[in-house]
Copies of this chain bind each other. A is one copy, B any other.
Amino acid sequence: MSKKLDQATQTLKPPRGRRTNGTGLSSTTIMDVAREAGVSYATVSRVVNNKEYVKSDTRERVLKAITSLGYVVNQQARSLAGGRSYAVGLLVRDLGSSYMGEIVKGIDDALSAAQYNLMLYTTHRRKIKERIYVNNLIQGMTDGLLLVLPENLEAYLETLDQTHFPYVLIDHQGLDERTPVVITTNWQGGYDATRYLIELGHRRIGFITGMMDMLSSQDRLNGYQAALRDHGLPVDPQLVYEGTFYQPGGYSGAQSLLQLPEPPTAIFASNDVMAFGVMEAVRDAGLRIPSDISVIGFDNISQASQVAPPLTTVAQPLEQLGREAVRMLLMRMNNPEQPIERSILPTTLIIRQSCDVPRNV
């Protein structure tokens, strides 16, 4: 390309004047509103931010100007000036599961009610350079961070804690008691489901765990074992299969449990997706649910009620988990000195049709 042409393009650049939003349409600024309402721009700012000390009819006038001009604040400018971006970062592994979907739904609802924007960061696959990554987040892009089931947490938490950047963990126990988290009563959920099966009359109950590096998996297992013990039943390690939280884990787990010399009459999977795998394996073995084998899950994702037979499961209040996390985060953002909360939401046993009394009782 010739130099001349280059210069020509140069000259064509828009003048620095009025901001055009990159779209050709110039956007209304606080100045325009001020002019329209016949006040200073500072007053407009006060109205927009709901500050005190504005005469009510002035406020009216400004508000009217705002709507008539269709003014909406420029977050970047606001953020630059005031140090708030009105955006929250959400860090997740991936988004494909309805588990994730429901949590995000809750987050999103609560956030938009509070007029906050949501920046999404997924960590799937990519090995991120934690330091830089987190730096980016806290470098004013967002005012706070929500982490759902974070993987190598230590890497984040160090930077986060050092800079006193507000964050909340979702469905993760954190490193210690001083980590702000929102979790559910996993132990109790495991206990309740198991007790339910016991009360139906089951004596041999198979259990398929989640990924055992997750505390929630351990809690569910512990709840299961505690219920057995409390009812005077043996805790047979043969009945526990280490799963993955994915469907194939449930399938092979059930296969292996059913091949036991003394197979269980009920199988408790640590999440619904694995329970679906269990159902498949049970059927493939020529058995019927619930008459031959009872199946119970965990999570209560929306599909759970749609399969046949509808799955009895332990409901996690996923959407509420997200909502609660946002509440906590906003709280921390506004009162950084507040003591750290840990919020524990209750699970509920949802009884549907995948469990029945065992055959031989």
A136 with B85: CB separation less than 8 A: no
A162: Cβ under 8 A from any B Cβ: yes
* A21 partner residues in chain B, CB cutoff 8 A: 83, 138-140, 163
- Across the interface, A163 reaches (CB within 8 A) one of B23, B83, B131, B140, namely B23
* A121 partner residues in chain B, CB cutoff 8 A: 118
The complex places the Cα of A139 from the Cα of B28 at a distance, in Å, of 9
* A339 partner residues in chain B, CB cutoff 8 A: none
The complex places the Cα of A126 from the Cα of B105 at a distance, in Å, of 11
Q: Which of the candidate stretches A39-47, A74-82, A175-183 sits at the interface with the other chain?
A: A74-82
Q: Given A165-B23, A302-B96, does the pair A72, B135 have CB atoms closer than 8 Å?
A: yes
- Across the interface, A72 reaches (CB within 8 A) one of B83, B126, B136, namely B136
The complex places the Cα of A74 from the Cα of B85 at a distance, in Å, of 11
* A108 partner residues in chain B, CB cutoff 8 A: 120, 122, 124
A201: Cβ under 8 A from any B Cβ: no
A283: Cβ under 8 A from any B Cβ: yes
Task: Tell me which residues from 44 to 80 in chain A have a Cβ below 8 Å from any Cβ of chain B.
Answer: 70, 72-77, 79-80
* A126 partner residues in chain B, CB cutoff 8 A: 109, 112
- Across the interface, A102 reaches (CB within 8 A) one of B96, B102, B119, B141, namely B96
Q: Given A122-B105, A132-B72, A140-B74, does the pair A24, B164 have CB atoms closer than 8 Å?
A: yes
Number of this chain's copies in the assembly equals 2
The complex places the Cα of A72 from the Cα of B94 at a distance, in Å, of 26
The residue on B at minimum CB distance from A104 is B95
The complex places the Cα of A165 from the Cα of B24 at a distance, in Å, of 9
A105 with B95: CB separation less than 8 A: yes
* A280 partner residues in chain B, CB cutoff 8 A: 307-308
A90: Cβ under 8 A from any B Cβ: yes
Q: Closest CB-CB distance, A261 to chain B, in whole Å?
A: 25
A96 with B85: CB separation less than 8 A: no
* A105 partner residues in chain B, CB cutoff 8 A: 94-96, 122, 124
* A140 partner residues in chain B, CB cutoff 8 A: 21, 27, 74-76
A141 with B117: CB separation less than 8 A: yes
Q: Given A108-B120, A138-B23, A143-B22, does the pair A80, B76 have CB atoms closer than 8 Å?
A: yes
Task: Tell me which residues from 79 to 125 in chain A have a Cβ below 8 Å from any Cβ of chain B.
Answer: 79-80, 83-85, 87, 90, 94-98, 100-102, 104-105, 108-109, 112, 117-122, 124
Can you list 16 contacts pairing A with B, beta carbon distance less than 8 Å? A22-B143, A27-B140, A70-B135, A72-B139, A74-B80, A75-B140, A80-B80, A87-B119, A95-B100, A95-B105, A97-B98, A108-B120, A118-B120, A118-B121, A277-B306, A283-B283
